[in-house]
Structure 1
Amino acid sequence: MTARTTTLVTGPVRSGKSRHAEELLALHRDVLYVATGRPAADDDDAWAERVRSHQHRRPTSWRTLETVDLDAALSEAPGPVLIDCLGTWLTAQVDLVGWDDLPVAAAHLRERTDSLVESLDRVAHPVVIVTNEVGWSLVPMTASGRFFQDELGRLNARVAHVAAAVHLVVAGRVLDLSTLPVVPQSPPPRTLDA
């Protein structure tokens, strides 16, 4: 394991997470921007506008890579990396195995998450990862919605565990959670009182 170089930026939709993540790497000219989202479909103007707004904000010296192979992107990048975002990465991972068998999807996600965490432990250059906080509101009505919510929460906790810093962005404000107590990764063993 090398020194931790990852910053996880989390928060709700439209909170300013991506802008904050970009600002964290603004002084670097050689950033690899890893876009994990699907390409804009011809009939989805709102998604296309979201993609365009992200593209126009980035410095022209930054290189963009559209991929869900985060292990390769992290190992091959010669300098800082910005990954946006874990929610779309998780969706793409489940898309690979299908949403119709959630236990199989969960096993695939555990394997891919283990690999991502190992890659983050090895990387020596700055990495900023954007993710969404879900589950602060209604419980989804569908099994796949609940699965996504649960799995993204688990993924965020795993990545936060290996991150040097964790920032929560809410309503355009940034809270640094880095020095706060950390929940153990697995529950402590139970003891029986005699």
Structure 2
Amino acid sequence: MRVLVTGGVRSGKSRHAELLLVDRPRVTYVAAGPVYDDADWATRITAHRERRPATWTTLETRDVAGVVASADAPVLVDCLGTWLTGLIDEAHAWEAPSAELAELAAARTAPLVDALAGVRVPVVLVTNEVGLGVVPEHRSARVFRDLLGRINQDVGAACDEVHLVVAGRVLRLGDPIGPAR
């Protein structure tokens, strides 16, 4: 089982992803994003931790492909949007040309897609659904939206199912159109 769970902010996507694996005694929960020194962020992280079973292991890393490739127990990755933010932050690349950012994202996404193809344990990945609203005013937001949209397509094509969560409701999406080009 490889499932990509997508949706907007506060749609219930993380809770849904957790429920897909809640009956598993061992799960590696991958917190793939940056850590912010912010009270609101800390409150959000605490709420996520308190919701998860005590038997789950939390791993803070951006090596999502490595974790998936070596997994011997189910994996939950939350989330690809914060993972992408962390990748761009690490590379100090927010002002880089779009083509350079696309190469950075593709270079990190390809190993994840490969790992998903060979994984033998359940993997659930959470991501943000982007691009349903207005065109962002700032370049960094437009670039982020475009990159995450491509990552979502590539990872979604590598998964058995894609679940869209809106207002706490789940819609299982149909067949993929294939990886983004």
Confirm or deny a common fold (TM above 0.5): yes
1:150 aligns with 2:146: yes
In the alignment, is residue 75 of structure 1 matched against residue 76 of structure 2? no
Q: Distance in 2 between matches of 1:108 and 1:10?
A: 22
Query: Which runs of at least 4 in structure 1 moved beyond 3 Å after TM superposition?
Result: 184-187
Residue in 1 aligned with 2:53?
A: 59
**Matched AA of 1:66:** E
- Would you say the 8 A contact 1:40–1:51 is kept in 2? no
Larger Rg: 1
Identity level (%): 49
**Residue 164 of structure 1, aligned match among 160, 165, 175:** 160
SS of 2:128's partner is coil
Matched, 1:114 2:73: no
Instruction: Give 5+ residue unaligned stretches, structure 2.
Output: none
Tell me, yes or no, if the aligned pair for 1:8 and 1:160 is still in contact at 8 Å: yes
Aligned mate of 1:87, from 81, 92, 108: 81
Paired residues, number: 179
Residue aligning to 1:45: 39
Letter in 1 for 2:22: A
Q: Secondary structure at the match of 1:83?
A: strand
User: How far apart, in 1, do the equivalents of 2:129 and 2:136 lie?
Assistant: 14
Q: Which of 139, 158, 169 is 2:135 aligned to?
A: 139
Correspondent of 2:95 among 100, 103, 118:
100
How much has 1:74 moved relative to structure 2? 1.2
Provide structure 1 residue ranges, at least 5 long, that are not aligned to the other structure: 188-194
TM value normalised by structure 2:
0.94
1:22 paired with 2:18, answer: yes
2:31 equivalent in structure 1: 35
Structure 1 length-normalised TM: 0.88
